Structure 1
Amino acid sequence: MATVELLPIEDVTACCAPLASAPLDAAGADALARTLKAIADPARLRIISIVAAHGDTETCACDLQEPLGLSQPTVSHHTKVLVDAGILHREKRGTWAYYSLVPGALATLAHLLSGLD
Protein backbone atom coordinates (compact mmCIF):
# COMPACT_ATOMS: atom_id res chain seq x y z
CA MET A 1 0.00 0.00 0.00
CA ALA A 2 1.35 3.41 -0.93
CA THR A 3 1.72 6.09 1.69
CA VAL A 4 -0.87 8.85 1.49
CA GLU A 5 0.64 12.20 2.31
CA LEU A 6 -1.75 14.52 4.09
CA LEU A 7 -0.83 18.17 3.97
CA PRO A 8 -0.69 20.22 7.14
CA ILE A 9 -3.96 22.11 7.54
CA GLU A 10 -2.31 25.41 6.63
CA ASP A 11 -1.27 24.00 3.23
CA VAL A 12 -4.67 22.42 2.60
CA THR A 13 -6.43 25.67 3.37
CA ALA A 14 -4.25 27.42 0.80
CA CYS A 15 -4.60 24.85 -2.00
CA CYS A 16 -7.63 22.66 -1.47
CA ALA A 17 -11.27 23.50 -0.97
CA PRO A 18 -13.69 21.46 1.10
CA LEU A 19 -15.40 18.67 -0.86
CA ALA A 20 -18.70 20.55 -0.97
CA SER A 21 -17.19 23.51 -2.81
CA ALA A 22 -15.63 21.75 -5.84
CA PRO A 23 -15.60 18.26 -7.35
CA LEU A 24 -12.57 16.08 -6.65
CA ASP A 25 -10.36 14.99 -9.50
CA ALA A 26 -9.59 11.26 -9.85
CA ALA A 27 -6.23 11.42 -8.06
CA GLY A 28 -7.64 13.44 -5.17
CA ALA A 29 -10.58 11.08 -4.79
CA ASP A 30 -8.25 8.07 -4.79
CA ALA A 31 -5.96 9.56 -2.14
CA LEU A 32 -8.85 10.63 0.08
CA ALA A 33 -10.55 7.22 -0.28
CA ARG A 34 -7.37 5.44 0.86
CA THR A 35 -7.16 7.68 3.91
CA LEU A 36 -10.83 7.21 4.76
CA LYS A 37 -10.48 3.43 4.36
CA ALA A 38 -7.60 3.53 6.83
CA ILE A 39 -9.75 5.12 9.52
CA ALA A 40 -12.95 3.20 8.65
CA ASP A 41 -12.21 0.40 11.10
CA PRO A 42 -13.34 0.33 14.75
CA ALA A 43 -9.94 -0.82 16.06
CA ARG A 44 -8.13 1.91 14.12
CA LEU A 45 -10.54 4.57 15.34
CA ARG A 46 -9.90 3.39 18.89
CA ILE A 47 -6.12 3.53 18.31
CA ILE A 48 -6.45 7.11 17.06
CA SER A 49 -8.55 7.94 20.13
CA ILE A 50 -6.05 6.37 22.54
CA VAL A 51 -3.10 8.15 20.94
CA ALA A 52 -4.99 11.46 20.81
CA ALA A 53 -5.95 11.11 24.49
CA HIS A 54 -2.26 11.12 25.39
CA GLY A 55 -2.09 14.71 24.15
CA ASP A 56 1.42 15.85 23.36
CA THR A 57 3.06 12.65 24.64
CA GLU A 58 3.66 9.56 22.58
CA THR A 59 1.86 6.26 23.11
CA CYS A 60 3.87 3.07 23.42
CA ALA A 61 2.68 0.11 21.36
CA CYS A 62 2.70 -1.83 24.64
CA ASP A 63 -0.16 0.39 25.86
CA LEU A 64 -2.48 -0.49 22.97
CA GLN A 65 -2.95 -4.26 23.28
CA GLU A 66 -4.87 -4.42 26.54
CA PRO A 67 -7.44 -1.66 25.94
CA LEU A 68 -8.11 -2.98 22.43
CA GLY A 69 -8.20 -6.63 23.45
CA LEU A 70 -6.12 -7.49 20.39
CA SER A 71 -2.91 -9.45 19.91
CA GLN A 72 0.38 -7.67 19.29
CA PRO A 73 0.52 -8.68 15.60
CA THR A 74 -3.01 -7.36 15.02
CA VAL A 75 -2.22 -4.06 16.75
CA SER A 76 0.95 -3.80 14.65
CA HIS A 77 -1.07 -4.32 11.47
CA HIS A 78 -3.56 -1.60 12.38
CA THR A 79 -0.89 0.90 13.41
CA LYS A 80 1.03 0.25 10.17
CA VAL A 81 -2.10 1.04 8.15
CA LEU A 82 -2.51 4.31 10.08
CA VAL A 83 1.17 5.22 9.64
CA ASP A 84 1.01 4.46 5.91
CA ALA A 85 -2.12 6.64 5.65
CA GLY A 86 -0.32 9.60 7.23
CA ILE A 87 -2.46 9.64 10.40
CA LEU A 88 0.14 8.37 12.89
CA HIS A 89 3.86 8.91 13.23
CA ARG A 90 5.94 5.94 14.42
CA GLU A 91 9.27 6.14 16.23
CA LYS A 92 11.14 2.96 17.10
CA ARG A 93 13.10 2.93 20.36
CA GLY A 94 14.74 -0.34 21.26
CA THR A 95 12.11 -3.06 21.02
CA TRP A 96 9.13 -0.71 21.32
CA ALA A 97 7.41 1.56 18.85
CA TYR A 98 5.93 4.86 20.01
CA TYR A 99 3.07 6.56 18.20
CA SER A 100 1.86 10.13 17.94
CA LEU A 101 -0.65 11.87 15.71
CA VAL A 102 0.78 13.51 12.61
CA PRO A 103 0.26 17.23 13.26
CA GLY A 104 -2.68 18.50 11.26
CA ALA A 105 -3.71 15.10 9.83
CA LEU A 106 -7.12 14.94 11.51
CA ALA A 107 -7.70 18.65 11.01
CA THR A 108 -6.95 18.19 7.31
CA LEU A 109 -9.59 15.47 7.04
CA ALA A 110 -12.09 17.57 8.96
CA HIS A 111 -11.39 20.53 6.68
CA LEU A 112 -11.85 18.47 3.51
CA LEU A 113 -15.10 16.98 4.78
CA SER A 114 -16.51 20.24 6.10
CA GLY A 115 -19.66 21.45 4.48
CA LEU A 116 -20.96 17.97 3.69
CA ASP A 117 -24.49 17.23 4.86
Structure 2
Amino acid sequence: MTELIKHYHVTEEQSAKSVGSGSLLVLATPSAIAMVENTCMLISEELTRESETSVGTAINFNHLKASLIGAEIKVIAQLVEENGRKLEFTFEVFDQDKLIANGSHTRYIVEIEKFLSHIE
Protein backbone atom coordinates (compact mmCIF):
# COMPACT_ATOMS: atom_id res chain seq x y z
CA MET A 1 0.00 0.00 0.00
CA THR A 2 1.37 3.40 -1.00
CA GLU A 3 0.76 6.32 1.35
CA LEU A 4 1.44 10.04 1.08
CA ILE A 5 1.07 12.71 3.76
CA LYS A 6 0.78 16.27 2.49
CA HIS A 7 0.32 19.51 4.41
CA TYR A 8 -1.74 22.51 3.31
CA HIS A 9 -2.33 25.97 4.75
CA VAL A 10 -5.94 27.23 4.54
CA THR A 11 -6.21 30.60 2.80
CA GLU A 12 -9.17 32.95 2.50
CA GLU A 13 -9.43 32.00 -1.19
CA GLN A 14 -10.22 28.44 -0.05
CA SER A 15 -13.09 29.56 2.19
CA ALA A 16 -16.71 28.62 1.64
CA LYS A 17 -17.49 32.31 1.21
CA SER A 18 -14.84 32.77 -1.51
CA VAL A 19 -15.61 29.63 -3.54
CA GLY A 20 -19.36 30.10 -3.27
CA SER A 21 -20.23 26.93 -1.39
CA GLY A 22 -21.32 28.79 1.75
CA SER A 23 -21.21 32.12 3.53
CA LEU A 24 -18.55 31.54 6.19
CA LEU A 25 -14.79 32.08 6.29
CA VAL A 26 -14.05 28.40 6.93
CA LEU A 27 -12.39 25.76 4.76
CA ALA A 28 -14.82 25.02 1.92
CA THR A 29 -15.68 21.42 1.17
CA PRO A 30 -14.66 21.90 -2.51
CA SER A 31 -11.28 23.24 -1.36
CA ALA A 32 -10.73 20.30 0.99
CA ILE A 33 -11.65 17.94 -1.85
CA ALA A 34 -9.06 19.66 -4.05
CA MET A 35 -6.43 19.02 -1.36
CA VAL A 36 -7.35 15.34 -1.32
CA GLU A 37 -7.35 15.07 -5.12
CA ASN A 38 -3.96 16.77 -5.28
CA THR A 39 -2.49 14.35 -2.74
CA CYS A 40 -3.88 11.32 -4.58
CA MET A 41 -2.72 12.71 -7.92
CA LEU A 42 0.82 12.95 -6.55
CA ILE A 43 0.73 9.25 -5.63
CA SER A 44 -0.63 8.47 -9.11
CA GLU A 45 2.28 10.28 -10.78
CA GLU A 46 4.57 7.50 -9.56
CA LEU A 47 2.55 5.03 -11.66
CA THR A 48 2.29 6.96 -14.94
CA ARG A 49 4.54 7.29 -17.95
CA GLU A 50 5.42 10.66 -19.48
CA SER A 51 2.54 10.34 -21.98
CA GLU A 52 0.02 9.58 -19.21
CA THR A 53 -1.71 11.34 -16.36
CA SER A 54 -4.47 10.42 -13.93
CA VAL A 55 -7.95 11.90 -13.75
CA GLY A 56 -10.36 11.85 -10.83
CA THR A 57 -13.67 10.11 -11.56
CA ALA A 58 -15.36 9.67 -8.18
CA ILE A 59 -15.09 10.89 -4.62
CA ASN A 60 -16.91 9.96 -1.43
CA PHE A 61 -16.17 12.83 0.97
CA ASN A 62 -17.40 13.05 4.55
CA HIS A 63 -16.76 16.57 5.88
CA LEU A 64 -16.99 16.09 9.64
CA LYS A 65 -15.76 19.37 11.18
CA ALA A 66 -15.02 22.94 10.13
CA SER A 67 -11.55 24.52 9.96
CA LEU A 68 -10.67 28.20 10.18
CA ILE A 69 -8.63 30.30 7.77
CA GLY A 70 -4.96 29.85 8.65
CA ALA A 71 -5.41 26.25 9.80
CA GLU A 72 -2.71 23.72 8.96
CA ILE A 73 -4.36 20.78 7.22
CA LYS A 74 -2.80 17.32 6.88
CA VAL A 75 -4.07 14.93 4.22
CA ILE A 76 -3.15 11.26 4.52
CA ALA A 77 -3.97 9.38 1.31
CA GLN A 78 -3.43 5.69 0.70
CA LEU A 79 -3.54 3.81 -2.59
CA VAL A 80 -5.49 0.72 -1.52
CA GLU A 81 -6.19 -0.93 -4.88
CA GLU A 82 -4.66 -0.84 -8.35
CA ASN A 83 -6.72 -2.63 -11.00
CA GLY A 84 -5.24 -1.96 -14.42
CA ARG A 85 -5.73 1.76 -15.02
CA LYS A 86 -8.15 2.15 -12.09
CA LEU A 87 -6.69 3.45 -8.81
CA GLU A 88 -8.64 3.37 -5.54
CA PHE A 89 -7.65 5.56 -2.60
CA THR A 90 -8.80 6.11 0.95
CA PHE A 91 -8.01 9.31 2.82
CA GLU A 92 -8.22 11.13 6.12
CA VAL A 93 -7.95 14.89 6.58
CA PHE A 94 -6.79 16.44 9.86
CA ASP A 95 -6.74 19.94 11.35
CA GLN A 96 -3.87 19.46 13.80
CA ASP A 97 -4.86 16.16 15.48
CA LYS A 98 -8.61 16.57 14.84
CA LEU A 99 -10.11 14.38 12.08
CA ILE A 100 -12.14 16.75 9.87
CA ALA A 101 -12.86 14.56 6.83
CA ASN A 102 -12.48 11.07 5.41
CA GLY A 103 -13.59 9.03 2.46
CA SER A 104 -12.48 7.41 -0.78
CA HIS A 105 -11.40 8.57 -4.22
CA THR A 106 -11.11 6.87 -7.61
CA ARG A 107 -8.70 7.90 -10.34
CA TYR A 108 -7.94 6.45 -13.76
CA ILE A 109 -4.64 6.52 -15.63
CA VAL A 110 -5.22 7.89 -19.13
CA GLU A 111 -3.17 8.60 -22.24
CA ILE A 112 -3.06 12.41 -22.36
CA GLU A 113 -3.41 12.81 -26.14
CA LYS A 114 -6.23 10.29 -26.43
CA PHE A 115 -8.08 11.78 -23.46
CA LEU A 116 -7.86 15.33 -24.80
CA SER A 117 -8.91 14.25 -28.31
CA HIS A 118 -12.28 13.11 -26.93
CA ILE A 119 -12.96 16.55 -25.46
CA GLU A 120 -12.44 18.65 -28.59
- The TM-score with structure 1 as length reference comes to 0.23
Higher strand share: 2
Q: Which structure ranks higher in relative contact order (CA pairs < 8 Å, sequence separation ≥ 6)?
A: 1
TM-score by length of 2: 0.23
Task: Indicate the structure with greater helix content.
Answer: 1
